Amino acid sequence: MRSMHLREKFQSIVEPAFGPRAFVFNGAFAGIRMANAPDSYPHEWRAGAEAFGRNYGDAFARTGSLAIARFSTSVLLHEDTRYQRSRSSSVPGRLSHALLFTFIDKTDGGHTMPALSNFTGAAAAGFIGNAYLPTGFDDLTHAGQGATVAFGGLAVGNITQEFAPEIGRALLKIHIRHVPLPPVWWTGGN
């Protein structure tokens, strides 16, 4: 696999975080957050258009900071953040590979390295996205939880990419002809 140029890294990591699908998913996240708001959330974070805007801003800050931190780290450390599917034919082997790829990446030269961009991206999502939450939710514990959720989201993305062909075939069996799956689904390509 050839190394990615700066523009390709930007297009695969940052652009999707600010594209049309990100607007939809951030909106969905904001709606879910409002529907399941903790009891101690202030009213201005739980009801109405302003609350939706606050929660939407939080979701957008998380996805944007995750993408920018991953991109910056991958450029500085020459990390190739593209997921490489497993060569195994067993489901446990493929699942293990997808989860491991959350912790390990390749360099632009093809060597194995820790997935530092995933760690910095998740940390940025947890801490930057946490910066303006209401009092009691803007602490270190909640930032750590947000970072863990973001890191888990990266693992889910790897699993989805690993099993995309099977997911596509399953959708065809239930007569859903075309649902674009990652990486096309995330990047907005055709």
| 188, pLDDT greater than 50 | no
Is 13 contained in some domain?
yes
For the chain, what is the domain count? Answer: 1
pLDDT tier at 3 (50, 70, 90 boundaries)? confident
Containing domain of residue 54, as a range? 6-187
Is residue 35 situated within a structural domain? Answer: yes
* Mean pLDDT computed over 54-80: 95
**Span 21-43, average pLDDT:** 89
153: in domain: yes
pLDDT band at 77 (very low <50, low <70, confident <90, very high): very high
Residues forming a β-bridge with 104: 114
1 part of a folded domain? no
pLDDT band of 190, cuts 50, 70, 90: very low
Residue 14 belongs to a domain: yes
pTM for the whole thing?
0.84
pLDDT in tens, 108-158: 998 999 999 999 999 999 999 888 888 888 899 999 999 999 999 999 999
